[in-house]
Structure 1
Amino acid sequence: MGSSDTSPATISQLTSSRSVSPPSSPSSPTTPLPAVVVSPCAACKVLRRRCAGKCVLAPYFPPNDPIKFTTAHRVFGASNIIKFLQELPESERSDAVSSMVYEANARLRDPVYGCAGAIFQLQKQVSILQEQLAKAQAEVVNMQYQQSNLLARLNYHNDHSVRSSSSSPPPLPSPPEQYFSGSFDGRNNDFYEHNCEYVYNDSGDDNLGPFWDELHTLGMSV
């Protein structure tokens, strides 16, 4: 009777040991981290090769712009682009890629002249604009000369008018009204009779000398 021999003390010890021991928590499953997928650059996509971590073309041909590499690859070739970039310092590679892409687009538009045709057109436009600028500058100089000449004439005219007004002689005084009256009043009649008596005296000889002198004096005063 092994099962009945179990004492109450043993049962209490077993119960206390079960209550003291912490419950075992179930192990939570670990969530796997998302795998970082590195998209290859546009050059490696076009060439269908694996894009290495130190790819020379990756910084200049992003994966969202494959046309950029396709254009340069059609004209220069991928090997030539890689070789050319490796010969340059990293500070100049971005400008070199932009130049190659521009020249490749120009060569595809104009297979004969390429970017030289675009440069020729730009130089022609520059020469035309320089001619127009020279004409405009000549017109400005001509207008400035005309304006200065007009101002000089106006100043000369103003100075001349001021000088002539300051050096003009004073006006002559107006003669007495009795010498311009149309009718003979009493004073003029007495003057006429007096001179007639003076001219023709009792002897009948005409003495015109003093009379003409007086008329001459009157005329000078008028």
Structure 2
Amino acid sequence: MPPSPPTVVLSPCAACKILRRRCADKCVLAPYFPPTEPYKFTIAHRVFGAANIIKFLQELPETRRADAVSSMVYEANARIRDPVYGCTGAISQLQKQVVELQAQLAKAQAEVATLQCQNANLFALICMEMTQSQDQPMFQQQSPAVDATCFLDETSVVPSWEPLWT
């Protein structure tokens, strides 16, 4: 019995439409280049060529073909934008951006740590001033108009404080 001719699909895939050929029932490209997305095949075809795309997809198991097409389209886009470096240029640029952002993060973290130390030192100085002012008689206080207890009450002051710096 002679092999049956491939059945013709009514709506050809984007690849067959661009290549101006009939889209067979078992077209390798049809599941990955639907007629609604012709730009995907156009970009991949411009960089890799139709024969290479078909050959590459036929060599892969069907479970990995969708990812391969996605990668080819991404690489083709990158090659069109940057013909010399392609995806490598985009990756390099992103890595540079990550390094710059890490440096900015480290600088911000150092500033936060500095401000926290300054805050702790200021609190320690206030506590020290309050304990000294409580030890002095009322007539010997340097500024009787300023009441140090307006910032902290006596229950929150620790009489024996330890400096936070070394």
> Once the 2 structures are TM-superposed, how far is the Cα of residue 94 of structure 1 from its aligned partner?
2.0
Structure 1 distance, partners of 2:13, 2:125, is 77
Report the CA distance between 1:89 and its aligned residue: 3.5
**C-alpha distance in 2, partners of 1:63/1:156?**
78
Aligned counterparts of 1:158 and 1:90: Cα–Cα separation in 2 = 77
- CA displacement 1:96-139 (0-9 Å, x = unmatched): 21211111122122221122222222122111111111111110
From 119, 122, 126, the equivalent of 1:150 is 122
Q: Partner of 1:139 in structure 2?
A: 111
More relative contact order, 1 or 2 (CA 8 Å, 6+ apart): 2
Matched, 1:164 2:154: no
TM-score (norm: length of structure 2): 0.70
**What is the number of equivalent residue pairs in this alignment?**
132
In the alignment, what sits opposite 1:125?
Answer: 97
1:13-43 CA deviation, whole Å, 9 max, x = no partner?
Answer: xxxxxxxxxxxxxxxxxxxxxxxx7201011
- Note the C-alpha offset of 1:74: 1.6
Q: Which residue of 101, 110, 113 corresponds with 2:73?
A: 101
1:162-201 equivalences under 5 Å are: 162-165=134-137
For the residues of structure 2 that align with 1:155 and 1:165, how far apart are their CA atoms? 17
2:105 alignment partner AA? L
Distance in 1 (CA, whole Å) between partners of 2:136 and 2:55 is 90
- What residue in structure 1 maps to residue 51 of structure 2? 79
Larger radius of gyration: 1
Question: What's the counterpart of residue 114 of structure 1?
Answer: 86
Q: CA offsets, 1:34-77, max 9 Å, x none?
A: xxx72010111122222122222111111122221011012112
Residue segments in structure 2 that go unaligned for 5+ positions in a row: 1-8, 141-166
Distance 1:137 1:82 in 2: 52
Partner of 1:49: 21
Partner Cα distance (1:164, 1:110) in 2: 76
* 1:165 Cα offset (Å): 4.2
* Overall identity of the aligned pairs, in %: 71
Give 5+ residue unaligned stretches, structure 1. Answer: 1-36, 169-222
Where 2:129 maps in the other structure, the secondary structure is helix
Q: TM-score, normalised by structure 1?
A: 0.54
